[in-house]
Structure 1
Amino acid sequence: MSFKRASKVADLIKAEISDILLKQINDPRVQGITVTGVKVTDDLRQARVFFVQMGQRSCSDETMDGLHRAAGFLRRELGKRLRLRYVPEIVFTFDESFEYGDRINRLLAEIEKDD
């Protein structure tokens, strides 16, 4: 499997999951979720979905539970929307890169203020 294909599939999955979460999932535990990225294995069997939640610095157990419970529905909807032989298993991971970037920005601002 080429890297290019996995990258294209990841982009499609990101767009579709974002749309499904916004329009079809009514669970209050997953409100305010933004999908920041998707990494797909080379064999397209697993998709790791990275997300952040508006106003949250970390992921609550309730949010993860809501996403895990919605994973089957999301996978079924992806199967309807995408033309893939196998619909990847969805694994949700809280994206800590935004928190890390925010921390770096705060440190840089603090250094600039000290000078």
Structure 2
Amino acid sequence: MAKNRFNTGGGPSQRQLRVGELIRRTLSDVLARGDVHDPDLNRMSITVGEVRTSPDLKIATAFVLPLGGQGAEEALSALRRNRSELRRSVSKALTLKFSPEIRFEIDETFDRMDETRRLLSQDNVRRDLEEDEDDEA
């Protein structure tokens, strides 16, 4: 009997993860080489942190952040303005049945990591963590 083809765990499937990573690498390469015909976009150094795809692989959301985090809204508007050219460049490099629509969002994971570090470095949190380690020992 065939295995259940539907992902019931709620997380992305292996295929979604693999295609998302391929799109991320390809999009990063396109942006690094400056293959887009927009001087505003070509002068920016943009990091593509992650790409999440929809279950049908027709929509890809790219989480991006300009180098240093400065000018995020400007970078986002430049990427959105050149969305069709970026989609064409990415689909040319990949062998997918459908060329996914690429959406762009600001990558906030770095901000969340900084906030987590800040919280964990507080004296009362550090003290509680040390107490938990002592209780386990």
Q: TM-score, normalised by structure 1?
A: 0.84
Sequence identity (%): 32
Please name the residue that 1:21 is paired with.
31
Structure 1 runs not aligned, ≥5 long: none
Please name the residue that 2:132 is paired with.
none
- Root-mean-square deviation (Å): 2.4
Tell me by how many angstroms 1:15 deviates.
Answer: 0.4
Q: Runs of at least 4 residues of structure 1 off by over 6 A?
A: none
Please name the residue that 1:48 is paired with.
61
Q: Kindly indicate whether the alpha-carbon contact (under 8 Å) linking 1:50 and 1:95 is maintained by their aligned counterparts in 2.
A: yes
Aligned residues: 113
Please name the residue that 1:70 is paired with.
82
Q: Kindly indicate whether the alpha-carbon contact (under 8 Å) linking 1:37 and 1:51 is maintained by their aligned counterparts in 2.
A: yes
Q: Kindly indicate whether the alpha-carbon contact (under 8 Å) linking 1:27 and 1:66 is maintained by their aligned counterparts in 2.
A: no
